[in-house]
Chain A
Amino acid sequence: MEQIVLDIKKALGGNDDFFIKRDYLLKKEVLLLGLSTLVDMTKTKTILQKQSEGLISQGKTSESIFILMGELFEDDTKKAITSVLEGKLIIYIEHTKKFIIYEPVPKGLNRSIEVPSNESVIQGPSNSFTEDIDTNIGLLRKQLTSNKLLVHSFTTGKNQKTKISLLFINGLVDKELVENINSLIEKNKSMDISNLQSMSKMLGFSSWDTVSKFNTTELPFHASQFLKKGRVVILVDQLPFALILPNLLWDMFIVESDRNFPFPIMITISCLRVIGALIALISPGMYVALVAVNPEALQIELALSVAQSREGVPYPALVEVIIMLVVLELILEASIRLPKSVGPTITMVGGIILGQAVVEAKLVSNLLIIILAATTIANSTLVGAQSSLSIRSFKYINVILSSLFGVLGLVVGLVFISSYLASLTTFGKSYLYLNIGRKEQ
């Protein structure tokens, strides 16, 4: 065997699914190299035979046929190994040191395009992204048929090869933004990308940001609308959602599929989400502030009924709120973790705990249950898993500040949160911008 084949064998031979098969193609001796788990050999061989026969009948020389069948390389072991790992078939022509990277019939390892599982659409296109990056790009191209949609692809990673694609609409997007992202990906090409944290490390974002720099969506429709607004979409192989850069505050409140409703209704729904964010941020803190520090701000009737509902509760309002908030977070987390068949159990048990038992046992006041329910429901109105998580964590700042300084603390907390949000920038674009796209020419 020749040196190059030996090198490849040395690198990949430890795998049981790696194969080297001797074969004849166009009366020449060839070696077929690949991974049997990624390549459907039977189908690939049939196609290979048919293709070569078809080309021979047109009277081409074997040399030119090889060039037509795939990319021809000479003496490039590294390229060969990468291609094998990507699921390509290497056709090595013996005694020539040349090999072809052939696109084989892949094993069906991808799921079909389904409706989104984490985002629901009331009225609007409901295809969702899958794990396969090429399918995802295809979905986007179908949503957005335009010659201005550009796709830049990169292969990154040292130990783990991952394909990343950068999509944007030429003319609408800020050129500087694209250049920045392009150069950062080029610079950090050796990083292994498998999740959002490594992705944000690659783009040089601080890992201590509480608000995600990426807005994520499962819906090609949403992604295409963001592209039209001048955002950049990054697709990562094996991640079934698109990353939209930069993430802006208003993405939390506005959903593209709302535009399928009449305008006044769309505005109302967006306002509802703003109210939802405020309730989620304020209400637990407000409870602590009014019950513990500033009861004079309550109406006397309310003050008396709150006092009565707290009668017999053994600990201060802050502890009461924190305990119940933690229980609530546990329920939320558990219902994500549990398989769908057991999920309803948690709802039921959690409902019993939060609904009645805890009040009857005089562990918390029943007003707090109302507050908690309002908080959780309000938090769920926000768009996007990333943003609603940040809001969910911000409310604790308000709770603690309220327990120290009352209503004043609550206001201070809101000012803190606002100034933090105002301080966030992504490649020079503030988080609070309404829109970053350029006007369509």
Chain B
Amino acid sequence: MKLSNKKVIYLICSLLTMVLILSGCWDIKDINHRLLPVSIGVKKVDDQYLVILNIPEPIDGSMETKIVSAKAETVSKAVDTISRNMESDVYLLHVKLIFIEKETAEDGINDIIAGFMRSRDVSPKALVAICDEDLQEFFNNIKINAEKKGLSTYNYFEKNAGWNPDIALTRVWEVFRGIHSYTHDVAIPLIRSGKDTTMDQIGSAILKRGKMVEQISSNETLLYNVFKGESGNGKMEVMEHATVMLLGSKTDNIGRLVNNDAHMESLIKVRVVILETKGEPSLNLIKEEINTLISERYNKLFTKLQENEADVFGMGQFFRNQIPRDELKNWRSDYFKNMKININVKIDIQNEGYLKTT
């Protein structure tokens, strides 16, 4: 089709007008007219949600923290109320952390998480944490402690900043998956405000289908992270004869169904460095010690999880191809609870220190 020059000009003009009219670019707000909260706290009070926003505000080169809150029937309504009362619009796009109060979590957070997933205001990559004290107080303490460092709550969980391998990292989408999956639950960091530090981590909460059912310690969270394949790098383990540092770990799992009973064979490969010794233990003794330490901890943790029927390790994933779908929905109660777990730890001592170099 050959268009005449006049037609081409008409076409270009109409396309340009369409671009201008249809783009809706007048709704765009520049970055300095948006409020960008880093964390959001949600608490259920009776039938209403109390929403608290932590908004870092750069003022004269330093970062101030602003805490604002509102109460409404839904989370988005509460955010809207805050937005109305503030001088700029609140955009939740940069929210990196969602704090939920413990009591609320024990009641179940299905609606809150589903709401976040549905509205897409908050990135599904935002982390979820559970707050082990009154939310209002927690945020006030953050404000006092984090003065001039508005991003400290965010940096606490950031892998290239303040994160430690014994803090669980669980994102909104993972919690959402945990609510709906037959075979996967999640552990969420349990946080309270610290005396000197901004936040203290006291362990992790086990969420089963969106409800908090149990609490595990930091050491157990480390196992959770190691099992998940998050780096355990830099974590110290103190034993009777030696102190070692974890360099890395790898897990191989084989799940088998024997007579309708689930059997799990786990091989955990750990790479360590010896830091300190007491006396002169042989390498085998140290290996033996690490082995008992890790397998004992794992076994304890598994017993705890099996009691609660919460599969935070996602063991059920290894049986998905062996159990029919209509039975899979009873995975937690029928199979996981009675699962036999055999844990083998393989230890590789990579470095004994620099004692032999002379």
Using CB atoms and an 8 Å cutoff, list the residues of chain A in contact with chain B.
290-293, 295-296, 298, 300-301, 303-308, 310-313, 316-317, 403-405
Q: Which residues of B contact A301 (CB under 8 A)?
A: 151
Other-chain residue from A298, A300, A305 in contact with B154 (beta carbon distance below 8 A): A300
Q: Which residues of A contact B25 (CB under 8 A)?
A: 403-404
Number of interface residues of B (CB under 8 A): 23
Closest Cβ of chain A: how far from B3's Cβ, in Å? 14
User: Given contacts A295-B91, A308-B58, A404-B23, are A300 and B32 in contact (CB under 8 A)?
Assistant: no
Q: With an 8 A cutoff between CB atoms, is B264 at the interface?
A: no
User: Given contacts A295-B91, A305-B58, A404-B19, are A310 and B28 in contact (CB under 8 A)?
Assistant: no
In the complex, what residue of chain B is closest to A290 when comparing beta carbons? Answer: B31
In the complex, what residue of chain A is closest to B24 when comparing beta carbons? Answer: A404
Q: With an 8 A cutoff between CB atoms, is B300 at the interface?
A: no
Q: Which residues of A contact B36 (CB under 8 A)?
A: 295, 300, 303-304, 307
Number of A-B residue pairs at CB separation under 8 A: 61
Contact A292 B30 (CB under 8 A): yes
Contact B23 A310 (CB under 8 A): no
Closest Cβ of chain B: how far from A396's Cβ, in Å? 14
Contact A306 B31 (CB under 8 A): yes
Closest Cβ of chain A: how far from B147's Cβ, in Å? 16
A-B contact pairs, 6 of them (CB 8 A): A300-B94, A304-B56, A304-B150, A305-B58, A312-B32, A403-B25
User: Given contacts A291-B31, A295-B34, are A303 and B19 in contact (CB under 8 A)?
Assistant: no
Other-chain residue from B32, B34, B93, B150 in contact with A313 (beta carbon distance below 8 A): B32
Q: With an 8 A cutoff between CB atoms, is B96 at the interface?
A: yes
Contact B30 A291 (CB under 8 A): yes
User: Given contacts A295-B91, A303-B36, A405-B23, are A310 and B30 in contact (CB under 8 A)?
Assistant: yes
Closest Cβ of chain B: how far from A59's Cβ, in Å? 71
Q: With an 8 A cutoff between CB atoms, is B38 at the interface?
A: yes
Q: With an 8 A cutoff between CB atoms, is B63 at the interface?
A: yes
Other-chain residue from B31, B93, B96 in contact with A292 (beta carbon distance below 8 A): B31
Contact A300 B151 (CB under 8 A): yes
Q: With an 8 A cutoff between CB atoms, is B123 at the interface?
A: yes
Q: Which residues of B contact A303 (CB under 8 A)?
A: 31, 36, 94
Q: Which residues of A contact B31 (CB under 8 A)?
A: 290-292, 295, 298, 303, 306-307, 310, 317
Other-chain residue from B20, B32, B56, B93 in contact with A311 (beta carbon distance below 8 A): B32
In the complex, what residue of chain B is closest to A293 when comparing beta carbons? Answer: B28
- Give me 11 other A-B pairs in contact (C-beta within 8 A), A300-B38, A307-B36 excluded: A292-B30, A295-B36, A295-B91, A300-B94, A300-B151, A300-B154, A303-B94, A313-B32, A404-B19, A404-B20, A404-B23
Other-chain residue from A296, A305, A404 in contact with B94 (beta carbon distance below 8 A): A296
Q: Which residues of A contact B20 (CB under 8 A)?
A: 404
Q: Which residues of A contact B56 (CB under 8 A)?
A: 304
- Secondary structure dominating the interface of A: helix
Q: Which residues of B contact A307 (CB under 8 A)?
A: 31-32, 34, 36, 58
Interface residues of B in 37-67 (CB under 8 A from A): 38, 56, 58, 63
Q: Which residues of A contact B58 (CB under 8 A)?
A: 304-305, 307-308
Complex CA gap A385/B59 in Å reads 45
Contact A300 B96 (CB under 8 A): yes
Chain B, residues 118-155, CB within 8 Å of chain A (1/0): the string is 00000100000000000000000000000000110010
Complex CA gap A310/B34 in Å reads 11
Closest Cβ of chain B: how far from A293's Cβ, in Å? 5
Q: Which residues of B contact A295 (CB under 8 A)?
A: 31, 34, 36, 91, 93-94
Closest Cβ of chain A: how far from B4's Cβ, in Å? 15
In the complex, what residue of chain A is closest to B92 when comparing beta carbons? Answer: A296
Q: Which residues of B contact A300 (CB under 8 A)?
A: 36, 38, 94, 96, 151, 154
Complex CA gap A311/B63 in Å reads 14
Complex CA gap A308/B30 in Å reads 12
Complex CA gap A430/B44 in Å reads 66
Interface residues of B in 322-346 (CB under 8 A from A): none
Closest Cβ of chain A: how far from B191's Cβ, in Å? 19
Contact B30 A317 (CB under 8 A): yes
Complex CA gap A403/B154 in Å reads 30
Closest Cβ of chain B: how far from A245's Cβ, in Å? 26
Contact B23 A316 (CB under 8 A): no
Closest Cβ of chain B: how far from A84's Cβ, in Å? 43
In the A-B complex, list the 3 residue pairs whose CB atoms are closest, starting with the nearest.
A296-B93, A308-B58, A310-B32
Q: Which residues of A contact B19 (CB under 8 A)?
A: 404
Q: Which residues of B contact A312 (CB under 8 A)?
A: 32
Complex CA gap A295/B91 in Å reads 10
Complex CA gap A291/B33 in Å reads 10
Complex CA gap A301/B161 in Å reads 13
In the complex, what residue of chain B is closest to A306 when comparing beta carbons? Answer: B31
Closest Cβ of chain B: how far from A297's Cβ, in Å? 9
Complex CA gap A385/B194 in Å reads 63
Complex CA gap A305/B94 in Å reads 14
Complex CA gap A306/B31 in Å reads 8
Complex CA gap A303/B56 in Å reads 11
In the complex, what residue of chain B is closest to A404 when comparing beta carbons? Answer: B23
In the complex, what residue of chain B is closest to A311 when comparing beta carbons? Answer: B32
- Which of B31, B56, B91, B96 counts the most chain A CB atoms within 10 A? B31
Q: Which residues of B contact A296 (CB under 8 A)?
A: 91, 93-94, 123
Interface residues of B in 143-190 (CB under 8 A from A): 150-151, 154
In the complex, what residue of chain A is closest to B155 when comparing beta carbons? Answer: A301
Complex CA gap A295/B150 in Å reads 18
Q: Which residues of A contact B94 (CB under 8 A)?
A: 295-296, 300, 303
Complex CA gap A312/B31 in Å reads 12
Q: Which residues of A contact B151 (CB under 8 A)?
A: 300-301, 304
Complex CA gap A301/B38 in Å reads 10
Q: Which residues of A contact B30 (CB under 8 A)?
A: 291-292, 310, 316-317
In the complex, what residue of chain A is closest to B37 when comparing beta carbons? Answer: A300
Closest Cβ of chain B: how far from A288's Cβ, in Å? 10
Q: Which residues of B contact A317 (CB under 8 A)?
A: 30-31
Q: Which residues of B contact A291 (CB under 8 A)?
A: 30-31
